[in-house]
Structure 1
Amino acid sequence: MSGEQRTIDVPVPRSQTGPSPQHLLATVLGEYLDSADAALPSAAVIAILGEFGISESSARSALSRLTRRGLIVARGDGRVPVYHLTAAAIASHHTHMRRFLSFGARPPQWSGDWTMASFSIPSSRQASRHAVRKALSALGLVGLYDSVWIRPGTDAEAVRTALSRTLHDVGGARWSVMHVRFDEEAGPHGPAAAYDLAGLASSYRNFIERYADLRVAVRDGRVDAARALVARTSVMDSWRRFPEIDPDLPEHLLPAPWPRRQARDTFLEIHAALGSPARERLVEVATPHWPDAASWITFFTAQ
């Protein structure tokens, strides 16, 4: 075997479902552009998304959708427009990125307090029952029992608002929102029973396994610039799910060993190491269509 470095045999896992072109474009622009003054030609966007196997028609559709959502604005003479991230979109993405990068860094501050929502809905109003469960799930609550839902902490205002908005016109419906503590918090009938912690642990272990080869390749310097962009975006797209599905319970309620730390270390190592080569690849791909690309393209790092 020659001493030449190998860079073509390292698998670059994608997320399990795969991001939509719109989601992918928002992620890439948010991670690598940091100024609303950057004027991005559509041809550069098409070339960038082509790195991820996105067709030209899908890339143009993603641009249109992000424009309609107000995340980017089109400027120019109308014939050959250029696109700018809005200042609000940049600020929002920075907030999300700080959350993704800091999630799991330290145990939550824990007072033992929980927010509990309890409701009673006539059996004939199944649609209302479904609407309540959907609203509470969106706020991070889970069902401890059929009509008793909980989440850690004491911030209950949004829960009260959701229940009032969903049930105020439902005849016979009643609901309460309470701050509670469990007498046997860590016991078999405590709040942890409401969560699928075994399933969450399995998701973390799958993440670790899926990116194990890539992590080794990063350490060995076998991920070149041509592949760093897709690899870095893949690991971010996979990791960003966890702050949404992990309730961040205190350690004494978690089964041991809990794999989140190892998963987080895997994510951070890959994301940090591939920032510079991913930027290099973006500049290379965009410059033929955007001569000023190197002046504007950067990459997000943990502070």
Structure 2
Amino acid sequence: MARTRDSETEDWGPAGHVPPRQSIVTIYGLYGGAGGNWMSVASLVHLLADLGIDEAAVRSAVSRLKRAGMLESTSRGRAAGYRLSEGAEAMLRNGRERIFQARRATLDEGWVLVVFSVPESERAKRHTLRTELTRLGFGAVSSGVWIAPGHVHDEVEAMLARLQLRSYTDIFRSDYLSVAPDLAAKVRTWWDTESLQALYVRFLATHRPVVERLERGETLSDVEAFVAHVRVLTDWRRLVYLDPGVARELLPAKWSGTEASEVFDELHARLAGPARRHVARVRSR
């Protein structure tokens, strides 16, 4: 059965809307390192307000992230705040290459197969394993056999070790031995490429106008750059984890992923500096 969503994307709304929880993860991933992955409550509330998210929604999202083991409460002096948990730090660290150096497979690099069996008595672990495989872009060949391009091997090994799920799985490197047109048809059953294409079109409709403004010579304030940077990276993070990164030859003829990648790279290069200046000013108050 084709899959395009994971547990981190279930609360996404209309185009241009970024859920508070996803925005907080992006902010910590982009700017948390400068403060040892710690941020005061006041700074977090201020930055989320810049994104149009009110304080009640911020506190609700933080509570959910704490329950999920992503954030931990800690204070510095008199300032209350939150830091990333060790598990969250590892997850964001492992994801940077995929986000900023997203790559597409070639036909000759093969596949990685994860075969797993989890006892019914440990169904929560089975759910976690399926969720994490989906998040890494795997498609389901059958209920216990999942597939991804070969270059995902290191990421899935790191995930299984981090979550202590390796004992439930066998991992294989493989080649597909039938003809390419048959493989392209299989790809459409393992992944919902039509829905992914629609998400790329939506991404372009949301973020390409910012590129066009910059190309016309318009200047964004640091606050505007921050807002645009968080939004584009949050949207992009979602897509690169849904996109399996299969070879271009196996994708529909009409495919907007390549242009979306160019738009993301352009905006990240132009917005990162002024956005970081804004965050530094907010955190110094």
TM-score by shorter chain over 0.5: yes
Q: Which amino acid aligns with 1:184?
A: S
- Contact conserved, 1:46 with 1:59, CA < 8 A, in 2? yes
1:48 aligns with 2:47: yes
Once residues 74 and 149 of structure 1 are traced to their aligned partners in structure 2, the CA distance between those partners, rounded to angstroms, is 39
- Contact conserved, 2:193 with 2:251, CA < 8 A, in 1? yes
- Contact conserved, 2:222 with 2:277, CA < 8 A, in 1? yes
In the alignment, what sits opposite 2:10?
Answer: none
Distance 1:212 1:21, change over 3 A: closer
Structure number, greater radius of gyration: 1
Once residues 208 and 49 of structure 2 are traced to their aligned partners in structure 1, the CA distance between those partners, rounded to angstroms, is 26
Unaligned runs of 5+ in 1: 1-13, 120-124, 167-175, 292-303
In the alignment, what sits opposite 1:71?
Answer: 71
In the alignment, what sits opposite 1:186?
Answer: 180
Equivalent position to 2:212, from 216, 220, 243: 216
Once residues 283 and 216 of structure 1 are traced to their aligned partners in structure 2, the CA distance between those partners, rounded to angstroms, is 27
SS for the counterpart of 2:255 is coil
Q: List per-residue Cα deviations over 1:23-72 (Å, max 9, x = no partner).
A: 32232132123244587443222222211222223334444555563634
- Contact conserved, 1:35 with 1:87, CA < 8 A, in 2? no
Question: In the TM superposition, what are the counterparts of 1:228-247 in structure 2 within 5 Å?
Answer: 228-247=225-244
RMSD, aligned α-carbons:
4.2
Q: Which amino acid aligns with 1:217?
A: R
SS for the counterpart of 2:48 is helix
- Contact conserved, 1:110 with 1:250, CA < 8 A, in 2? no
Once residues 271 and 137 of structure 1 are traced to their aligned partners in structure 2, the CA distance between those partners, rounded to angstroms, is 28
Once residues 237 and 275 of structure 2 are traced to their aligned partners in structure 1, the CA distance between those partners, rounded to angstroms, is 18
SS for the counterpart of 2:176 is coil
* Deviation (angstroms), 1:250: 2.0
1:204 aligns with 2:203: no
Q: List per-residue Cα deviations over 1:80-116 (Å, max 9, x = no partner).
A: 4333635845554343233201113x54583334527
Q: List per-residue Cα deviations over 1:191-247 (Å, max 9, x = no partner).
A: 324232233223223322322211101223243223221111111111111222111
* Deviation (angstroms), 1:283: 4.0
- Contact conserved, 1:39 with 1:82, CA < 8 A, in 2? no
- Contact conserved, 1:144 with 1:193, CA < 8 A, in 2? no
Once residues 98 and 264 of structure 1 are traced to their aligned partners in structure 2, the CA distance between those partners, rounded to angstroms, is 14
- Contact conserved, 2:50 with 2:227, CA < 8 A, in 1? yes
Q: Which amino acid aligns with 2:239?
A: F
SS for the counterpart of 1:249 is coil
Number of equivalences: 256
Unaligned runs of 5+ in 2: 1-12
In the alignment, what sits opposite 1:300?
Answer: none
Once residues 20 and 139 of structure 2 are traced to their aligned partners in structure 1, the CA distance between those partners, rounded to angstroms, is 31
- Contact conserved, 2:116 with 2:144, CA < 8 A, in 1? yes
Q: List per-residue Cα deviations over 1:124-154 (Å, max 9, x = no partner).
A: x9xx99x979854642443446886544339
- Contact conserved, 2:15 with 2:202, CA < 8 A, in 1? no
* Deviation (angstroms), 1:251: 2.9
Once residues 28 and 20 of structure 2 are traced to their aligned partners in structure 1, the CA distance between those partners, rounded to angstroms, is 12
Q: Which amino acid aligns with 1:246?
A: D
Question: In the TM superposition, what are the counterparts of 1:31-110 in structure 2 within 5 Å?
Answer: 31-37=30-36, 40-66=39-65, 69=69, 71-76=71-76, 80-83=78-81, 85-86=83-84, 88=86, 89-90=88-89, 92-104=91-103, 107-108=105-106, 110=108
In the alignment, what sits opposite 2:268?
Answer: 271
In the alignment, what sits opposite 1:139?
Answer: 133
With the length of structure 2 as denominator, give the TM-score of the two structures. Answer: 0.68
Identical positions, percent: 24
Distance 1:71 1:184, change over 3 A: same
- Contact conserved, 1:36 with 1:84, CA < 8 A, in 2? no
